[in-house]
A = this chain, B = another copy of it.
Amino acid sequence: MSQVKPTKASESYDQLKHRVSEANLLASTTAILEWDQETMMPNQGVDHRSAQLEQLARMTHNLCVDPQIGELLSVCEEDPDLLDQPGVEANVREMRRDYDRETKLPATLVAELAKTSSLSLHAWQEARARSSFREFQPWLEKLVGLLTQKADCLGYPKDGERWDALADEYEPSMKARDIDAIFTPLRTRLRVLIDEILGAPSPPTNRFNETMLPLESQKNFVRFVAEQIGFDFTAGRLDTSTHPFCGGSHCRDVRMTTRFHENNVNDALGSTMHEAGHGIYEQGLLYENAGIPLGQAVSLGIHESQSRLWENQVGRSIDFWKWGHPKLKDFFGEGTGHLTLEEIYGGANIVKPGFIRVEADEATYNLHIMVRFDVERLLLSGDLTINDLPDCWNEKYKDYLGLTVPDDRTGCLQDVHWGMGAMGYFPTYTLGNLYAAQLFETASSKIGNLPELFARGDFKPLKTWLNENIHQHGRKYLPAELCRLVTGKPLSPEPLMRHLEGKLRPIYGL
């Protein structure tokens, strides 16, 4: 049995931070390998990469569950003077959360999950390319089996459900029941709005999204916008991948990706502003706190609020396009010369139920999430078999979005998440939309003149406000606490509905 004999609690705290930082340092290496696998790695590298990731996961887990961390935590938790010092209480609280979580998981399960996820990610890519859920089914069965084991090791309250145990990793303390209580009324109100829109007398034209533009110019344009809104390219990269994401190893090395279609610069721009929002959050964490909770993002819901805010509240606003419209000409010449500001703004805000989540508009997007949330809960509770997954998925698309899914690629194979072993993750996207709307209302009222600033391409005051109010805190507050602290209110669907109705009804002449 290891023994810790510090002369005082602050020494224990330093040792604790050192040990936790070592584990996070190794995890930051994993992050680079994961990014590399999605963007750079040659095809034949996949087997060896899964072995590398399995080894790193095993080693990181071993560092995280070192009993000395538990002993050091206990010493720190018992010293009120230490806990009174700035940041200490929050760091210790969050290190305890992580430690308790990690020590519940057997090393073999952690390694098996890491290895299976890496292999199954590749299997998903191939199955998706061939639009064959049946090819991917054995991998998903294996993954759901492992995730069920994981959830049961972690445990959940008697009045909760297995899904909660997994979701807690992404959105601390959020329960399926609480999410249901927000999603059910939100679904009703969204469907009313969407139905109104589908019957609107004067929908915007789609010309913007039918304009063919060269990929190289699109790359230059989205990179320019990412830089303009505040992503620092000396501390990050932008690459291309099938499923856009933002990763990287720390706040000075943030790796985001996007994707391109010749006829849809709007998709590349939305993806890029979205990932840049994540990236700006990561870059806004304090380097001095790298490797400890105060230097880490608080939750995926809050993370997603940052990406959504830049993608939607900023990037789909009329004020953004007052600045962006002439910029298009700088990058595409006459390629966009035929488009009016109204056509671009309308085109960026077309609402149309579709099959693909990442291509969805702001209004229907949340219905895509609700499908996944329902399916995940059923899979994990055992009320749905993997075999029946495509049918369940397709029925829910019919019910929520009124659509008949034509094939697996367009249906239940479209997302990377399950193939990576991530369940309990999807609802954080809609939480992000809710947080984004609520935070943006507060930012607007505090800063005052955001429309004028956007119209002249000045995004710095907004970025600075987010840096100060959200980013720099890291995990100092729990997400619900942070929301209340910054906006003065608990999370509510009202700001999101105000945002959507206030913007979309005029665009659609309602």
Cβ contact of A234, chosen from B28, B36, B42, cutoff 8 A = B42
In the assembled complex, how far is the CB of residue A258 from the closest CB belonging to chain B, in whole angstroms? 16
- Do A45 and B235 have beta carbons less than 8 Å apart? yes
Q: Which residues of B contact A32 (CB under 8 A)?
A: 32-33, 36, 52
Contact with B along A33-61 (1 / 0, CB 8 A): 10010001111110111011001100100
- Give bound CA distance, A22 to B29, whole Å: 17
One of B33, B41, B56, B252 near A42 (C-beta < 8 A): B252
Contact with B along A234-266 (1 / 0, CB 8 A): 111100000000000110111000000000000
Contact of A45 among B40, B52, B252 (CB under 8 A): B252
State in angstroms the CA–CA spacing of A435 and B286 once bound together: 53
- Interface: A25 (CB within 8 A): yes
Which residues in window 1-40 of A have CB below 8 A to B? 22, 25-26, 28-29, 32-33, 36, 40
Contacts of A253 in B (CB 8 A): 41-42, 44-45, 48-49
The answer to whether A28 and B52 have CB atoms under 8 Å apart is yes
Name the residue on B nearest A40 (C-beta): B237
Interchain nearest-CB distance for A490 vs B (Å) = 37
With beta carbons under 8 angstroms apart, the residue of B41, B44, B48 that contacts A28 is B48
Instruction: Mark each residue of chain A from 474 to 485: 1 if its CB lies under 8 Å from any CB of chain B, else 0.
Output: 000000000000
CB contacts (< 8 Å) of A40 on chain B: these are: 40, 237
* A153 contacts chain B at the CB level, 8 A cutoff: no
Closest-CB distance, A253 to chain B (whole angstroms):
3
Residue A290 CB within 8 A of the other chain: yes
A233 at the interface (CB under 8 A from B): yes
Report chain B residues within 8 Å CB of A33. 29, 32
A225–B290 CA distance with the chains assembled, in angstroms: 44
- By a CB distance below 8 angstroms, the chain B residues around A234 are 42-44
Rounded to whole angstroms, the CA-CA distance of A254 and B234 in the bound complex is: 27
Q: From residue A217, how far is it (CB to closest CB) to chain B in Å? A: 15
Knowing A36-B36, A49-B253, A253-B49 touch, does A29 contact B56 (C-beta < 8 A)?
A: yes
User: How distant is the Cα of A233 from the Cα of B36 in the complex, in angstroms?
Assistant: 16
Q: A233's contact among B28, B42, B52, B59, by CB below 8 Å, is which?
A: B42
Contact of A25 among B36, B43, B51 (CB under 8 A): B51
Are A55 and B25 touching (Cβ within 8 A)? Answer: yes
User: In the complex, A450 Cα to B472 Cα: how many Å?
Assistant: 65
Interface centre among A22, A26, A29, A232 (most CB of B within 10 A): A29
CB distance from A19 to the nearest CB of B (A): 13
**Highest count of chain B CB atoms <10 Å: which of A36, A42, A233, A290:** A42
Which one, B43, B44, B252, contacts A48 given CB within 8 A?
B252
**Chain B residues within 8 Å of A47, by CB:** 252
* Binary flags per residue of A281-311, CB closer than 8 Å to B gives 1, else 0: 0000000001000000000000000000000
Docked Cα-Cα span, A235 to B41, in Å, equals 9
When chains A and B are docked, how far (Å) is the Cα of A111 from the Cα of B33? 21
Query: Which residue of B is nearest A52, CB measured?
Result: B29
A22-B55, A237-B40 known; A249 vs B45 contact (CB < 8 Å): yes
**Bound-complex Cα distance A28 to B45 (A):** 12
Question: Nearest CB to that of A45 among chain B residues?
Answer: B253
A44-B234, A236-B42 given as contacts; is B249 within 8 A of A52 (CB)? yes
Instruction: Contact check, A235 vs B55: say whether CB atoms are below 8 A apart.
Output: no
Interface residues of A (CB under 8 A from B): 22, 25-26, 28-29, 32-33, 36, 40-45, 47-49, 51-52, 55-56, 59, 232-237, 249-250, 252-254, 290
What are 25 A-to-B residue pairs whose CB atoms are below 8 Å? A25-B52, A25-B55, A28-B48, A28-B52, A29-B29, A29-B33, A32-B32, A32-B36, A32-B52, A36-B36, A40-B40, A41-B253, A42-B233, A42-B234, A42-B237, A42-B253, A42-B254, A43-B234, A45-B235, A45-B249, A45-B253, A47-B252, A48-B249, A48-B250, A48-B252
Interface contacts beyond A48-B250, A49-B253: sample of 9 additional A-B pairs, CB < 8 Å, sorted by A: A28-B48, A29-B52, A32-B33, A36-B36, A40-B237, A42-B233, A44-B253, A45-B249, A45-B250
Q: Which 7 A-B residue pairs are closest in the complex by CB-CB distance?
A: A45-B253, A44-B252, A44-B235, A43-B234, A48-B250, A29-B52, A44-B234
